[in-house]
Amino acid sequence: MHIIIFMVLIATVGEETWQISLQLSTGGAGPNRQRTMSHFCGGTLVNDRWVVTAAHCVYKKMYITSDNLFVVFNATNMKHPDVPNIGVEKIFTAKYNEATKENDIALLKLKEAVSTSDSVSLPPASYEANGTCTVSGWGFQQANAGFTPNHLMAANVTILTREDCQSRFGSKYTIYPGMLCAGGGKTDACQGDSGGPLVCKTSTGENILAGVVSWGIGCATPTIPGVYTEVAKYDNWIQQIMENNQDSQLPTPSSDI
pLDDT tens digits along 143-155: 555 555 567 888 8
Give yes or no: 39 in active site: no
**Catalytic residue (choose from 21, 104, 188, 214):** 104
CA distance 167 to 242: 37
The beta-strand segments (E) located in 145-237 are 153-160, 179-182, 188-189, 197-201, 207-215, 226-230
The span from the CA of 191 to the CA of 117, in Å, is 28
User: pLDDT band at residue 15, thresholds of 50, 70 and 90?
Assistant: low
Q: Specify whether the backbone of 127 is left (phi greater than 0), alpha (psi in -120 to 50) or beta.
A: beta
Distances from the Cα of 80 to the Cα of 88, 151, 252, angstroms:
22, 10, 38
Confidence (pTM): 0.85
Q: What number does CATH give the domain 5-10+120-232?
A: 2.40.10.10
pLDDT tens-place string over residues 162-205: 999 999 999 999 999 999 999 876 665 566 689 999 999 999 99
Query: Where in the chain are the domains?
Result: 5-10+120-232, 19-119+235-244
Q: Residues 56, 119, 136, 214: which is the catalytic one?
A: 56
Whether 5-10+120-232 shares its CATH topology with 19-119+235-244 is answered yes
Asked whether 233 and 125 are in contact (CB, 8 A), the reply is yes
Distance between CA 113 and CA 93 in Å, rounded?
21
Give yes or no: 56 in active site: yes
CATH homologous superfamily for the domain 19-119+235-244: Trypsin-like serine proteases (2.40.10.10)
Q: Is 104 part of the annotated catalytic residue set?
A: yes
Burial (Cβ within 10 Å: 0-12, 13-18, ≥19) of residue 172: exposed
Active-site entry in 119, 136, 194, 214 = 194
